[in-house]
Amino acid sequence: MWQEELDDDRPFVAPDDIQDLQFSIDCKTLPVDHAQGLSRAVLAALSWFADEPQAALHLIHVAGSGNGWERPEGAAGVLHPSRRTKLVLRVPKHRLEDARQLSGQVLDVDGNRMLVADSSARLLSVTNTLYARHVVVEDPALNEQDFTASVVAELKQAGLGFKKVLCGKTITFQTDQGPLLTRSLMVADLSFEDAIRLQELGIGQDSYKKLGCGLFIAHKSV
């Protein structure tokens, strides 16, 4: 889906209903496929997290490449988080203090030690273009066109206005329920209000958001 033209330059301040809580971490290594392991560790540390419908977990992301290093793509690959790498939880405002209890804890992510340190809260992004690294493909038999159509239908059902939707890279995670196929997704030419709403809602089942799927972040350009 690719329409043109958007005219929305009104000043807008993001509400604080749902925020991203960023934690500094000390973690030497993580599996590339750490969705299930990180989710399990966070759920064990925060007893309320599983039952909070607006709580979600961002997967750990490191730079794609640098100084001759290339980010590994295979599930068996290993990531090396830097000192600037953050663990991020997306939580409603009334859960911020509960989520801060993660500070000082040591998480075991599939045998990898992660010390969680100080946290800071950040409002959701005021932008017209959003990006999700992982959106679950409910039916693996869907081709790209049909998957895009299903996403467009879900976004419209949520009452969101947008003009561009583009899906991309396919990645499969191994979970306790079996393989989980995902695609990256960009949604562009949103109003600021709808961009905030999409970040608050995400896309897909709530259980997937606890695995780092269906969460939107700012995308700098189309």
Convert the pLDDT of each residue in 25-77 to its tens digit: 999 999 999 999 999 999 999 999 999 999 999 999 876 433 333 445 555 58
pLDDT at 71: 43
pLDDT at 9: 59
pLDDT at 74: 54
Convert the pLDDT of each residue in 182-222 to its tens digit: 999 999 999 999 999 999 999 999 999 999 999 999 987 54
Least confident of 3-12, 31-40, 104-113, 161-170: 3-12
* pLDDT tops 70 at residue 3: no
pLDDT at 4: 55
pLDDT at 70: 42
pLDDT at 176: 93
Q: With H, G, I as helix, E, B as strand and everything else as coil, classify residue 170.
A: strand
What b/e string do you get for 146-184 counting C-beta neighbours within 10 Å, with b at 16 or more? ebbeebeeebeeeebebebbebeeebebebeeeebbbbe
φ and ψ at 128, to 5 degrees? -100, -10
Domains of the chain and CATH, by start: 18-123 (3.30.70.1890), 130-218 (no CATH)
Convert the pLDDT of each residue in 79-136 to its tens digit: 999 999 999 999 999 999 999 999 999 999 999 999 999 999 999 999 999 999 999 9
φ and ψ at 190, to 5 degrees? -90, 150
- The terminus-to-terminus CA distance of the chain in angstroms comes to 13
Q: Residue range 157-183: average pLDDT?
A: 95
Q: Which residue has the tokens 């030497």?
A: 28
pLDDT at 10: 57
pLDDT at 222: 44
The secondary structure of residue 2, as a DSSP letter, is B
pLDDT at 13: 86
* pLDDT tops 90 at residue 24: yes
Q: Are 128 and 192 in contact (CB under 8 A)?
A: yes
